[in-house]
Amino acid sequence: MDLVQTEIPEGFTRSAGGGHTEEYYLNMGPQHPSTHGVLRLMVRLDGETVKEIVPHIGYIHRSIEKMAESQSLIQNIHLTDRLDYLSCHMTNLGLCLAIEQGADVGVPERAEYIRIIVCELQRIQSHLLWWGCFAMDLGALTAFLYGFDEREKITDLFEELCGARLTMNYFRPGGCVSDLPNEFIPRILKICEHMKTTLDEYDNLVSKNMIIRERTQGVGILSKERALSHGCTGPVARASGINYDVRKDEPYGIYNRFDFDVPLGATGDCYDRYTVRIEEMRQSIRILEQACKDLPDGDFRSKEKPNYKIPKDEHSFSSVETARGNFSTYVVSDGGKTPYRIKYRSPNFSHIGAINDMASGYKLADLVTVLATLDPVIPDIDR
């Protein structure tokens, strides 16, 4: 059998072979435990060194943008849950902000605070899941159990808030569906207090672990220029030293009232991406404490409209910072009940596009580390 492949697979810049050793192609996915879903990576390898990576996406393309065109704006909120399901409060908020902007709807003070509290809580929740999976991808199962244990506590809170554990569908244009349940704030404060000690525990368990450090430090470096060129945002961009956080730079809601820092990395390697996320959890706790302290009484939603319409030929654009980066919603209207077109900008889409820059030149096992620190949510990429 002729083992040497002469044809270049789709997307590669040159064929394997030539040089001193024989290069070959390896397929990873779409069914692979470390691709976090159904991502497929084709890798050109020289021995164990990754030479080039070509990602294939679309295995969970659910045509959400097409469906959006035949549903009213409000009916679309539950579909945004299914984009980035680990930060679905934030994606809900993205669409709600776009509707509020286009249909001129205001938000009462209390609702603004509720939004911040819920979003930051979810950021912690999402990062906890990432932390568990990151350690598991590197071979440490204990961390997975720890991470999920903490996550369940926050999931309980969300369940009390809106009845769902994962697909929340809680925000509406002009506020939220319902008020906070009783005893919600003290419980959040308790979780915050608890999380502080837990994060120190996590540092001892994983961050200071020699093996984890060896496997992440100096691995998967993404330079600032390449990150910008690929359109990376969120923790990935911040680890590469790009000071861009939507919450700080284009504040939405009332984020401009809170005092928090944006952690930045220096080198853009896997360890930086790791520490940036851990630090983000600490900052989220800070925001939570401030917001819980100041939470005013009042309405949780402004007056409802039976129909939220954006005027003809107008468009509205909103950006929010999800746990993964800049999530933008672009709504084009033709004056009808349903949007003419909705486009969601997914942060993961750009990150996976940059994976060739990050992981080529390293070993195949490092590719798994890089993927784990990107924290991709595949349905968000494919939409």
Partner 1 sequence: MGIDLQLIPKVLDPLPGGKGLTNAVDYIVNWARSSSLWPLVYGTSCCAIEMMATGAARHDISRFGAEVFRASPRQADLIILAGTLTEKMSHHLKTLYEQMPEPKYVIAMGACTISGGPFYYDNYSVIKGADRIVPVDVFIPGCPPRPEALLHGILELQKLISGETIRQPRVPRPLNDDPMIDRHSADAAAWKEEDKKIQEELAGKREQWAAENPDFKAYKGERFKNVSGPKMGHTPVERSCTSVADICAAVHDKFPDIPLYNKAEITDEELAELSPQYIPDFVVGQEQYTAFISFLKNHADLNMDLLLQVTAVDWKDHFDVLVHLYSTTGKHKIFVRCSVDYSKENDTPEIDTISHLFSGANWHEREIFDLFGITFTNHPDMRRILLRDDFVGHPLRKDFEDSSRIVKRPY
Choose which of 63, 182, 197, 204 interacts with partner 1 (CB under 8 A).
63
Binding mask 79-108 for ligand SF4 (x = CB under 6 A): ---x--------------------------
Q: Does residue 70 bind partner 1 (CB under 8 A)?
A: yes
Q: Which does 109 bind (CB under 5 to 8 A by kind): partner 1, ligand SF4, none?
A: none
User: Under rule CB under 6 A, which residues in 160-179 are in contact with ligand SF4?
Assistant: 167
* Amino acid letter for position 213: R
Closest residue to ligand SF4, based on beta-carbon distance? 82
User: Under rule CB under 8 A, which residues in 8-37 are in contact with partner 1?
Assistant: 10-11, 30-33, 37
Place of tokens 């469906």: 67
- Kindly state the smallest distance separating residue 20's Cβ from partner 1, in Å: 28
Q: Which stretch binds partner 1 (CB under 8 A): 1-9, 205-213, 245-253, 367-375?
A: 245-253
Residues that contact partner 1, how many (by CB under 8 A): 95
Choose which of 24, 25, 59, 160 interacts with partner 1 (CB under 8 A).
59
Residue whose CB is less far from partner 1, 234 or 271: 234
User: Under rule CB under 6 A, which residues in 226-285 are in contact with ligand SF4?
Assistant: none
Choose which of 5, 27, 229, 307 interacts with partner 1 (CB under 8 A).
229
* Amino acid letter for position 5: Q
Choose which of 15, 49, 72, 155 interacts with partner 1 (CB under 8 A).
155
Q: Does residue 166 bind partner 1 (CB under 8 A)?
A: yes
**Beta strand 175-176 with 171-172: parallel, antiparallel or unpaired?**
antiparallel
- Kindly state the smallest distance separating residue 164's Cβ from partner 1, in Å: 9
Residue whose CB is less far from ligand SF4, 167 or 338: 167
Q: Which backbone phi and psi does 159 adopt, to 5 degrees?
A: -65, -40
User: Under rule CB under 8 A, which residues in 259-318 are in contact with partner 1?
Assistant: 298-304, 313-314, 317
Q: Which does 38 bind (CB under 5 to 8 A by kind): ligand SF4, partner 1, none?
A: partner 1
Q: Does residue 122 bind partner 1 (CB under 8 A)?
A: no
Q: Which does 233 bind (CB under 5 to 8 A by kind): partner 1, ligand SF4, none?
A: partner 1
- In whole angstroms, give the CA distance from residue 137 to residue 157: 28
Q: Which backbone phi and psi does 243 adopt, to 5 degrees?
A: -85, 80
Place of tokens 């494919």: 382
Binding mask 91-120 for partner 1 (x = CB under 8 A): ---------xx--xxxxx------------
Binding site for ligand SF4 (CB under 6 A): 82, 167
